[in-house]
Structure 1
Amino acid sequence: MKTFASTVAVAAALAQCVAGHAMFQQAAADGKDYGTTCARVPSSNSPVADVSSASMACNANGGTPVAGICDAKTGGRFTVEMHSQPNDRSCTNQAIGGNHFGPVIVYMAKVADATKASPSGLSWFKVDEEGYDAATKVWGTDSLNKNCGKREFTIPSKIPAGDYLVRAEAIALHAAGQAGGAQFYMTCYQVKVAGGSGGQLPAGVSIPGAYGASDPGIKVDIYQGLTQYKIPGPAVVDRSFV
């Protein structure tokens, strides 16, 4: 049963809903800034709400390839970057505001040609995540705001070289106390990965398909004294690929 305080918190969060919308837009690899070169930037900063929608893979227009590609390497560092408005990289503005608290997750999927690949039917493996630290009360989205919208992760060193789609996602849980209340913000990046000593790919999941509307990390009341949080989807790839 919701408390009065919880109800007030949800109402306040909903009142800021539109102001908190955001998009992953830019990327960098090992310190080289690619801007939006390889990003299939969504047509708007609105979220996806239906976990069964085809838009869950790369957002509403994420199935449309772009001409650019970002060069990266296995074992290298890759950065995805979120902001609320197109081309606004100002660190004075929150990357995702309006009490849009939630996890940040990054997946990769191997493709034949990143500049042509459809996101449908791919096998996505998780390479990075940040959920909720109950001790510090810090969410993955809080870290995005602190780091000027940037989330850096290591590309697994033992995956095959070649083309990939990198899928960056933030899940806003301010209204997730009921099924369908979670908001999903994702963008896919077209990346060519060099190096790679491995011939195998990590086990992957289908998107849509990896999440259920009632999963504990998706249908959750974050205003009810949360002491732990289960990040949706599979585990991050194991050490054998790192």
Structure 2
Amino acid sequence: MKAFFAVLAVVAAPFVTAHYTFPDFIVGSTVSADWQYIRETANHYSNGPVTSVTDPEFRCYELDLQNTAGETSTASVSAGSTVGFKANGPIYHPGYLDVMMSKADPTANSAEAGTGSTWFKVYEQKPTFADGQLTFPSTTQEQFSFTIPKNLPSGQYLVRAEQARIHLFDIALHSASSYGGAQFYIGCAQVNVVDGGSGSPGPLVSIPGVYTGYEPGILINIYNLPSNFTGYQAPGPVVWQG
């Protein structure tokens, strides 16, 4: 019951209907122009979510699956440095947030980059569970930062931010108590990593393919948590610490 009222309070917030994109990439303290380093997404006007975890658009949700990559610049970042994503408005909605990276082949600005089992997780932000309720850090954010793993080998990569929106029932756990109800907000930055190390990132997964849609962290009713609920289970692979 506590979980129900905690979520209800979030849902009743003034910006409950607000959706968002992640158009800006942050390097250190510098915020890029919209879509300078992040592939412009198909929802750049509508702000609408991706709901199918099996469609090719689930990878980066590009405006054009063939041409957007080549129209996007590639940022130079150092291994071990701080980077981030900035949304086009407050996120507000409860949800799970993570970042995955993929070694780009042949280059970060190629349409072929990110295909196959090349993705690994470098950051995640899970809700915490205490006193029978979930608390979602993402509801107070408009941007977030993380560290490029110090031991990541130099080279070109895609960096994919995903916020799985959870409000009412959802990962943007909103209507996620039924299959296909979760709402995903995605942005892929193109980067060239310099001063890297000799690590071996993993485990590697494919996108789409990383989720079935039936994972406990996706197919969840946060209004009515199970009596044996002990904590939120993040979907996808574990974080590679580098």
The interval holding the TM-score normalised by the smaller chain is: 0.7 to 0.9
2:118 equivalent in structure 1: 123
1:207 equivalent in structure 2: 207
Question: What is the SS of the residue equivalent to 1:22?
Answer: coil
Question: What is the SS of the residue equivalent to 2:138?
Answer: helix
Aligned residue identity for 1:53: D
Contact 2:203 2:237 in 1 (8 A): no
Report how many residues are paired: 216
1:236 equivalent in structure 2: 239
- TM-score in terms of structure 1 length: 0.80
- State the Cα distance separating 1:122 from its structure 2 match: 5.0
Distance (Å, rounded) in 2 between the aligned partners of 1:117 and 1:203? 23
Distance (Å, rounded) in 1 between the aligned partners of 2:85 and 2:194? 18
- State the Cα distance separating 1:32 from its structure 2 match: 2.5
- State the Cα distance separating 1:214 from its structure 2 match: 1.1
Q: Deviations over 1:38-93 (max 9, x none)?
A: 01121311111111111111015363213311111101111111124xxxxxxxxx
1:151 equivalent in structure 2: 144
Question: What is the SS of the residue equivalent to 1:167?
Answer: strand
- State the Cα distance separating 1:140 from its structure 2 match: 4.0
CA RMSD of aligned residues (A): 2.6
2:87 equivalent in structure 1: 82
1:87 equivalent in structure 2: none
Structure 1: where are the runs of 5+ without partners?
85-94
Distance (Å, rounded) in 2 between the aligned partners of 1:214 and 1:67? 33
2:153 equivalent in structure 1: 160
1:191 equivalent in structure 2: 191
Contact 1:23 1:41 in 2 (8 A): no
1:91 equivalent in structure 2: none
1:138 equivalent in structure 2: 135
Question: What is the SS of the residue equivalent to 1:196?
Answer: coil
1:47 equivalent in structure 2: 49
Change (3 A) 1:62 1:81: farther
Q: Deviations over 1:81-135 (max 9, x none)?
A: 1124xxxxxxxxxx224xx311111000011311224333251100000111123
Question: What is the SS of the residue equivalent to 1:39?
Answer: coil
- State the Cα distance separating 1:199 from its structure 2 match: 5.7
- TM-score in terms of structure 2 length: 0.80
Q: Which moved more, 1:218-227 or 1:150-159?
A: 218-227
Q: Deviations over 1:122-173 (max 9, x none)?
A: 511000001111238421422xx33xx1111110111111111000000011
Q: Percent identity?
A: 34
Distance (Å, rounded) in 1 between the aligned partners of 2:185 and 2:73? 21
Contact 1:106 1:127 in 2 (8 A): yes
Distance (Å, rounded) in 1 between the aligned partners of 2:72 and 2:18? 29
